């Protein structure tokens, strides 16, 4: 059973461009979580999704950030008009129904030039 997969592993964008981060959960996992790890700030929860539904987006910045988990395909975290402060490691985690343990992917390291 493959683990949580994230791609790309590294992403470089110039200010003002869009960044799309993809997450494929483990087989049988219907819950997806996105986290951001900034230097000196630790790992922060952003959003929790189930198939076709956003359950909790309390950690998402109000502007430029959006997330989806469609019926088919990976979950996508989209950052529009990136700024230097968006440079961070973005981690996705997944869990199966009725199980609280979250399993993390290797992360996508976003660098904004």
Nearer to another protein, 1 or 101 (CB): 101
Antiparallel, parallel or unpaired: β 108-112 and 10-13: parallel
Q: Among 56, 61, 80, 113, which residue sits at the site for another protein (rule: CB under 8 A)?
A: 56
Which residue from 19, 25, 17, 33 is spatially nearest to 88, judged by alpha carbons? Answer: 19
Q: Is 102 in the site for another protein (CB under 8 A)?
A: yes
Measure the CA–CA gap between 84 and 33, rounded to whole angstroms: 23
Query: Which residues lie near another protein (CB under 8 A)?
Result: 4, 31, 33, 35, 41-48, 55-56, 58-59, 91, 93, 95, 99-107, 109
């Amino acid at each position: 059973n493959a683990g949580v997969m994230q791609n790309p592993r590294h992403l470089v964008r110039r200010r003002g461009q869009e960044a799309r981060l993809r997450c494929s959960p483990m087989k049988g996992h219907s819950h997806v979580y996105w986290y951001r790890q900034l230097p000196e700030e630790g790992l922060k929860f952003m959003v929790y999704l189930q198939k076709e539904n956003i359950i909790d987006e309390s950690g998402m910045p109000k502007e430029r950030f959006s997330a989806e988990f469609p019926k088919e395909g990976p979950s996508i975290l989209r950052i529009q008009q990136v700024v230097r402060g968006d440079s961070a490691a973005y981690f996705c985690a997944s869990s199966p129904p009725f199980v609280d343990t979250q399993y993390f992917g290797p992360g996508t390291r976003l660098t904004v030039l």
